[in-house]
Amino acid sequence: MKNKKRYNNGTAYLMLSPVVIMLSIFVVIPLIYAIRISFYDWSFYQDPVFVGFRNFYLVLTDDRFYTSIGVGLKFVLLVVPVQLVLAFLFAHVVRAMGRKASSFVKTSIYIPTIISGIITAIIFQIIYNFDGGVLNAIIGSFGFEKVGWLVEKQIVLFGLAIPAIWLGFGITALIMLAGLLDIPESYYEAASLEGASAIQKMFHITIPLLKNVAVYLLVTGFVGAIQQLELPLFLTNGGPSDATLLPNFYIFEHFRNDLLMGHTIAAALLLFVVLGSISAIIFRVINSEKAIDE
């Protein structure tokens, strides 16, 4: 019995070893190296100089770092709730369609997911153009004045949120649809026999059983939105007046302009701590659990 148990453990270690090796090479070792050089004034062209916690001090006393975190959280609030609600409603519509129609719609909505953020930025640059843009042409036909979607501080973050929602909508809707299809039809049939309305079925069956899917989409949507870089880089360059200074753009700006990389790496590590902490809070507040008893 003891020999058999030892054999099973060896097989498990052997199966896990590729994952552990890959994780070590691409995650653990780079992370340890990044932590090490964050304590140095480091560049590609000179020997590193140890400076202790000075890089972290510079980041934590930089107002623009806190501005970027605040802008990032506002951007998440504009993108993620809208994306989840639209995906939920759209998944319900697709679920009620026939097989051929649903296949066509699922393929169509997935297309934005495979388009790069750069191409998306170019498309929305054309849509938002002040003089020849499609959006200003539409609102102009109703007698409204043209809007500077990417230059007015009050609305520019909203203008940045729309392409972000468009980019992530397809994959979010498909995952939501998979969660809906996983709910047994017998639950709805039993509720119908009890006289439950469509609204009651949604609040007492659909939403509780989609809780784990929603937690996953909430966390991945939060991380994806706050780490957005291409859209502020190509649409607004972080402006106007830092109104679209998302955290990754703040880090990229220092990487592009600073001669020494210590500040950049310290900012990236602090952002990693912020994202990890908020993700842990989300998991803590909205506990995932087994949805259906087998």
Cα dist from 77 to 160, 181, 226, 240, whole Å: 12, 28, 10, 20
β-bridge pairing 49-50 and 40-41: antiparallel
Instruction: For residues 287 and 224, give the distance between their C-alpha atoms in angstroms, rounded to a whole number.
Output: 21
Note the pLDDT tens digit of each residue in 17-50: 899 999 999 889 988 988 888 888 887 777 888 8
Mean pLDDT of 109-115: 81
What span, in angstroms and rounded, lies between the C-alpha atoms of 25 and 19? 10
Q: Give me the chain's average pLDDT, please.
A: 85
pTM (predicted TM-score): 0.84
Q: Is-cis flag, bond preceding 81, omega within 30? A: no
CB atoms within 10 A of CB 285: 8
Residues 6+ apart with CB under 8 A from 3: none
Q: Which two tokens stand for residue 38?
A: 């964050």
- pLDDT attached to residue 288: 58
Q: What angle do CA 66, 225, 286 make, to 5 degrees?
A: 95
Model pLDDT, residue 6: 55
Give Cα 12 distance to the centre of its chain: 33
Flag whether pLDDT at 188 surpasses 60.
yes
Q: 123 Cβ partners below 8 Å, 6+ apart?
A: 163
Closest CA to 291 of 187, 196, 221: 187
Rounded to an integer, the average pLDDT of 2-15 is 70
| Backbone torsion region of residue 237, taken as left when φ is above 0, otherwise alpha when ψ lies between -120 and 50, otherwise beta | left
Cα separation values, 29 from 21, 22, 153, 244, 250, Å: 10, 10, 41, 33, 25
Q: What percent of the chain has pLDDT over 70?
A: 94
Quickly tell me which residue has 């480091």 as its tokens: 42
Please provide residue 187's backbone torsions phi and psi, each rounded to the nearest 5 degrees: -65, -45
pLDDT for 47 equals 81
Task: Give the Cα separation of 240 and 226 in Å (integer).
Answer: 18
211: left (phi over 0), alpha (psi -120 to 50) or beta: alpha
Give the mean model confidence (pLDDT) for residues 203-227: 87
Handedness of CA 168, 170, 174, 176 (dihedral sign): positive
Average pLDDT over residues 207-223: 87
3-class secondary-structure state, position 292: coil
| 3-class secondary-structure state, position 145 | coil
Structural domains of the chain in order of their starting residue, each with its CATH number: 64-128+155-286 (1.10.3720.10)
Q: What are phi and psi of 255, to 5 degrees?
A: -60, -40
pLDDT, tens digit, for every residue of 226-276? 888 889 999 888 888 889 999 999 999 988 888 778 888 888 899 888 888
How far is the C-alpha of 185 from the C-alpha of 208, rounded, in Å? 15
- Indicate the residue type of 247: P
